[in-house]
């Protein structure tokens, strides 16, 4: 079973059921109640054989993921604040498009790398921060108040917390069918956004990226898909920890979570801006 987040799919640590292993890997799985020693009782379709971190490396922990994610989000926040404060009005559009395109390119590189690069993860976070800083400033001006940004940040934190609590305490089962549905919906949504972006560069406007009814609809769909992707990411990170993934893989998990959280924030910000209207 795989996450719809391509970042986590590049490592066998986050898809242990595929029977892949790291060179020199040592097993870290715990025997399940009906499994043979060395098998992990994942509860999602029977026993699965896991191979964990290399023998000379300690396995990844949830604390590792939390620390690395905090670092990447801190970089996003700092560069966003600096971009808001320092980029002049004449450079807003180039900075917005440049930040978005470079972050997208780095995201694609990281998504397809077998070995995660912490330097590239931080570079991605920095350019994503430029995009969010300039974009957030534009929306704050549209609404006429910076309060909308604070509200979007709080809404993102609350939504993430509720999603995590729901996943843990209601014991949500991430099935293969659920994963496929989210993957298809996410790829379809991303395709529509990409086509709309290209069309807007050519002078055509569909309203998808605007502040009308169509923009509100697509922002709501985007936020909903981000929540579903958070559930998949939580599940796959939990599996990676259980499989004893190498410590460095925490950077991959942090990158995947950052991608999803940025996506969630941006759509919630747009929803709040559309509901409040321009000044």
pLDDT digits (tens, 9 = 90+) for 252-275: 999 999 999 999 999 999 999 999
What average pLDDT does range 208-234 have in this prediction? 93
Q: Which residue has the higher pLDDT, 217 or 279?
A: 217
DSSP for 192-211, written as a single string: HHHHHHHHHHTT---STTSS
pLDDT-above-90 percentage for the chain: 59
Domain annotation covers residue 53: yes
pLDDT digits (tens, 9 = 90+) for 110-162: 988 888 999 999 999 999 999 999 999 999 999 998 999 999 999 999 999 99
Can you give the pLDDT at residue 172? 86
User: Tokens 């098998």 sit at which residue?
Assistant: 39
Query: In whole angstroms, what is the distance from residue 28 CA to residue 9 CA?
Result: 20
| Token code pair at residue 276 | 């409040």
Domain annotation covers residue 259: yes
If DSSP codes are grouped into helix, strand and coil, which group holds residue 49? strand
pLDDT digits (tens, 9 = 90+) for 57-84: 689 999 999 999 999 999 999 999 999 9
Among 112, 94, 69, which residue's Cα sits nearest to residue 262? 69
Domain annotation covers residue 88: yes
| Token code pair at residue 174 | 């991430």
pTM above 0.85, yes or no: no
Can you say how many angstroms the Cα of residue 192 is from the centroid of all Cα atoms in its chain? 19
What number of residues does the chain have? 279
User: Residue 179 pLDDT > 50, yes or no?
Assistant: yes
Q: What average pLDDT is seen over the chain?
A: 82
Structural domain that includes position 208: 6-276
Domain annotation covers residue 217: yes
Among 62, 17, 68, which residue's Cα sits nearest to residue 237? 62
Pair 246, 176: CB distance under 8 Å: no
Among left, alpha and beta (phi > 0; psi -120 to 50; other), residue 41 is beta
Domain annotation covers residue 242: yes
Q: How many domains, in total, are found in the chain?
A: 1
Query: In whole angstroms, what is the distance from residue 12 CA to residue 186 CA?
Result: 22
Can you give the pLDDT at residue 113? 86
Pair 15, 2: CB distance under 8 Å: yes
Domain annotation covers residue 1: no
Pair 1, 44: CB distance under 8 Å: yes
Spatial neighbors of 136 by CB under 8 A, at least 6 apart, are 80, 84, 149, 152, 269
pLDDT band at 14 (very low <50, low <70, confident <90, very high): low
Pair 257, 227: CB distance under 8 Å: no
Q: Which residue has the higher pLDDT, 43 or 126?
A: 126
Can you give the pLDDT at residue 15? 53
**Helices (H), strands (E): how many in the chain?**
8, 2
pLDDT digits (tens, 9 = 90+) for 22-42: 333 333 333 333 343 333 333
User: Tokens 């009005």 sit at which residue?
Assistant: 89
């Amino acid at each position: 079973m795989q996450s719809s987040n391509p970042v986590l799919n590049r490592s066998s640590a986050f898809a242990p059921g595929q029977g892949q292993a790291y060179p020199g890997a040592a097993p870290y799985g715990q025997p399940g109640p009906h499994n043979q020693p060395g098998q992990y009782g994942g509860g999602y379709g029977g026993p699965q054989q896991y191979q964990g971190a290399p023998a000379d490396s300690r396995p990844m922990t949830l604390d590792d993921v939390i620390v690395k994610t905090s670092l990447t989000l801190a970089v996003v926040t700092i560069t966003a604040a600096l971009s808001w404060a320092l980029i002049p009005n004449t450079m807003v559009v180039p900075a917005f498009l440049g930040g978005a395109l470079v972050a997208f390119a780095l995201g694609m590189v990281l998504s397809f790398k077998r070995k995660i690069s912490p330097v590239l993860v931080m570079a991605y976070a920095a350019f994503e921060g430029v995009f969010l800083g300039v974009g957030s400033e534009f929306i704050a001006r549209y609404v006429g108040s910076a309060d909308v940004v604070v509200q979007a940040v709080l809404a993102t934190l609350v939504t993430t917390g509720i999603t995590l609590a729901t996943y843990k305490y209601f014991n949500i089962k991430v099935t293969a069918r659920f994963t496929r549905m989210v993957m298809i919906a996410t790829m379809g949504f991303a395709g529509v956004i990409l086509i709309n972006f290209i069309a807007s560069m050519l002078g055509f406007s569909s309203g998808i990226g605007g502040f009308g009814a169509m923009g509100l609809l697509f922002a709501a769909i985007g936020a909903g898909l981000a929540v579903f992707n958070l559930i998949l990411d939580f599940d796959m990170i939990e599996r990676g920890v259980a499989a004893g993934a190498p410590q460095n893989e925490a950077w991959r998990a942090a990158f995947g979570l950052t991608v999803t959280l940025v996506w969630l924030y941006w759509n919630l910000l747009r929803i709040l801006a559309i509901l409040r209207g321009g000044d």
